[in-house]
Structure 1
Amino acid sequence: MGIPDIRQLITLEFEVFGHVQGLNFTKDTRERCTKLGITGWVKNSKQGTIVGKMQGPKEEVEKMVTWISSEGPPGCQIDRCDLRCQSNLNRLDYKDFAIRF
């Protein structure tokens, strides 16, 4: 039997509402996720929100969820952050964290 991996991997989709576009939200999200070892993607939506998907160690993803739902980059006004499709993962689907257009 192998040693269990204490780094439980999770995946989730998010959408951030408020005054969030045009403030480097996608760039800052990518930089932070890359530093934390989180993979996935982020983009501006046509509805004026920020949408994306994060995959990585549960603890690190939870740190990012806190940042995107309450802090964000300077100048932004976050009204709410919806999380969807959260589940555990055996392995990551993405190699890195990308900004999509």
Structure 2
Amino acid sequence: MASAGLCSVDYEVHGEVQGVFFRKYTEEQGRKLGLVGWVKNTAHGTVTGQVQGPKEKVEIMKNWLRTVGSPMSRIDRAVFSNEQEISSLEFQSFTTKY
């Protein structure tokens, strides 16, 4: 489905974000916004992933990753990279990778 205004962004969230259901909440939030992508824990204690969808929804998700997260998490900072416009979505849904 090609659409104007689709974008993709990679993210990495630093802080107390593992063992606090951060991935579960991220997946739920992404699906609630109608976004696609993935989330996973890294070996160095952060959570990383990619999100794709309409630019305005991606901006909402970025703000959520930066400030909300899961109820028990503590977000020190969120780093976003490789933000770009895309012509179509590369994923079917929002998933947790292991």
Give me the TM-score of the superposition, normalised by structure 2: 0.94
Which structure 1 residue ranges, 5 or more long, are not aligned? none
For residue 78 of structure 1, give the secondary structure of its aligned residue in structure 2. strand
SS in 2 for 1:22: coil
- Structure 1 residues 19-67: Cα deviation after superposition (integer angstroms, max 9, x where no partner): 1111111011111111111101000111100000000011111111101
> Would you identify which runs of 4 or more consecutive aligned residues in structure 1 move more than 6 Å?
none
Structure 2 gaps, min length 5: none
Q: Which residue of 1 aligns with 2:87?
A: 90
Equivalent position amino acid for 1:49 in 2: T
Asked which structure has the greater CA Rg, the reply is 1
Hey, what's the Cα distance between the residues in 2 that align with 1:51 and 1:70?
15
| Aligned match for 1:47, one of 44, 49, 58 | 44
The alignment's C-alpha RMSD in Å is 1.3
Q: Is the 8 A contact 2:3 2:88 kept in 1?
A: no
Change in CA separation of 1:57 and 1:89 when aligned onto 2, cut-off 3 Å: same
8 Å Cα contact 1:19/1:76 also seen in 2: yes
Question: How far 1:71 moved relative to its partner?
Answer: 1.3
1:16 alignment partner in structure 2: 13
- Which amino acid counterpart does residue 75 of structure 1 have in structure 2? M
